[in-house]
Structure 1
Amino acid sequence: MSDKPSVLFVCVHNAGRSQMAAAWLTHLAGDRVEVRSAGSRPGAAVNPAAVAAMAEVGIDISAETPKILTVDTVRESDVCITMDCGDTCPVFPGKRYLDWKLADPAGRGVEAVRPIRDEIKVLVEDLIEDLIEGLITEIAPGPAA
């Protein structure tokens, strides 16, 4: 892993969980971590409830757009995190793969998205601690099927 670790967040539509996780990591870690997000079947826009929930905590994701997951995006990332969505990343040696068990905010109002947002924040805070302290050093074989 380089001096500046890179993290990729993946969910199917790249419209809710992965966008919120990327925003939290960018907000909390600043330029200490390179942040990416993508999805296997990107949606047309970021979930409005996710945008509203993040705005409540002072983070603006309204200009974000869902992006397609590519092999290159995975290859360029040190840590690949899926969001309990059935998506998998191509497996490359030297990568750390994690799967976060999170509810899907699709089709839910902001009231239902708030707890998901807050859970993601806690997971991201733990991730930052691991990244910054160098605790993510062993490489997992990839996500479990």
Structure 2
Amino acid sequence: MKPKVAFICVHNSCRSQMAEALGKMFASDVFESYSAGTELRPQINQDAVRIIKDLYNVDMNETHKSKLLDDIPEVDIVVKMGCNVVCPFLPSRHEEDWGLEDPSGKSDEEFIKTAKIIEEKVKDLAKRIKNNEIDLSLERDVR
């Protein structure tokens, strides 16, 4: 059974949505991708949607919506996107923070840079899972 990975941030409208889309694109053979946050937005950041469509030909408007933490199944791995505030907590066996700046309101170049960083991090996460570098045998961290 493939591990479930949640990409989380407060609003679940930009970086976490990009990570979910790229996780499904580049790592679906290794893990299941989800994204969620603690607050909903009426729609995903349309700059993020446009950049992911331009770079990867994936239309997040058709496949994604803003989700709360309670809307996704229990997960094995939590990836915090870099909230710069108190990040949401979700029980998991492994947690890491990618510390990504939010490109919202910035130039296309910032969105492209963020998407490319997320792509590399998703591929690296998949490699670490495949190579058993992440211990998923531990009990869930339930703080």
Residues 27-46 of structure 1 mapped to structure 2, 5 A cutoff: 27-46=25-44
One-letter amino acid of the counterpart of residue 53, structure 1? I
Instruction: Give the TM-score, by structure 2 length.
Output: 0.84
2:74 to 76, 79, 94: 76
1:132 corresponds to: 130
Select 1:122's aligned residue among 120, 126, 129: 120
Whole-angstrom CA distance in 1 between matches of 2:95 and 2:139: 6
Whether contact under 8 Å (1:49, 1:108) holds in the other structure is no
1:47-86 residue pairs with structure 2 within 5 A?
Answer: 47-57=45-55, 58-63=57-62, 64-70=64-70, 73=72, 76-85=74-83, 86=86
Report deviation, 1:19. Answer: 0.5
Q: Is the 8 A contact 2:69 2:90 kept in 1?
A: no
Aligned runs of 1:17-36 on 2, under 5 Å?
17-36=15-34
SS of the residue aligned with 2:2?
coil
Output the CA distance in 1 between the equivalents of 2:90 and 2:28.
Answer: 27
* Counterpart pick for 2:102 among 101, 104, 128: 104
List alignment gaps of at least 5 residues for structure 1. Answer: none
State the number of aligned residues: 136
SS of the equivalent of 1:125 reads: helix
Using the TM superposition, give the Cα deviation of residue 109 of structure 1 relative to its aligned residue in structure 2, in angstroms.
Answer: 3.7
Runs of 4+ in 1 over 6 A off after TM superposition: none
Q: Is the 8 A contact 2:30 2:129 kept in 1?
A: no
Identity between Structure 1 and Structure 2 (%): 32
Q: In 2, distance between residues paired with 1:36 and 1:133? A: 21
